[in-house]
Amino acid sequence: MIEEVRDLIQALLIPQLDAIRQDLQAIKTRLDVMEARLDAKIDRLDAKIEALDMKVDNVEALLKAKIEALDMKVEAYRREVLAEIRRVDDTLSADFVRIEEKVDGRLAAMNEKIDLFRRELLAEIKAAAR
């Protein structure tokens, strides 16, 4: 009787287990195909990301070079402006010294004239007082 139950179970279950195995194998095959497709898509995305990274690196290098060139131009302009400021300062300093000398000379001449005028005025006052 055990033998008959066993045969009956085998007769009923084995075909169903085989069907389940085949279904599982079909699912595994589908998963393998899906995984291969997904891997291919991931590889394409990786390639695109690498290409974008290279573009970003190139743009970064280009910008860095342009910024360095601009820095050099700004530094050159700064040096030129400083040199021009020094030249103007030197010119103005020389002009101020020359003007100061002229003003000092004229003030000295005016002081002499004022002193002469004062002495003449005092002499006239003394003469008129006598």
pLDDT of residue 85: 96
Enter the tokens of residue 77: 């302009």
Enter the tokens of residue 34: 């899906």
Rounded to an integer, the average pLDDT of 75-91 is: 95
pLDDT of residue 128: 85
Q: For residues 7 and 125, give the distance between their C-alpha atoms in angstroms, rounded to a whole number.
A: 164
Identify which of 46, 66, 69 has the alpha carbon closest to the alpha carbon of residue 58. 66
User: Which H or E element spans position 36?
Assistant: helix 2-129
Rounded to an integer, the average pLDDT of 61-76 is: 98
Three-class DSSP category at 47: helix
Q: For residues 127 and 129, give the distance between their C-alpha atoms in angstroms, rounded to a whole number.
A: 5
Model confidence at 24, pLDDT cuts 50, 70, 90, reads very high
pLDDT of residue 111: 94
Total-model pTM: 0.49
Residue type at 45? L
Three-class DSSP category at 10: helix
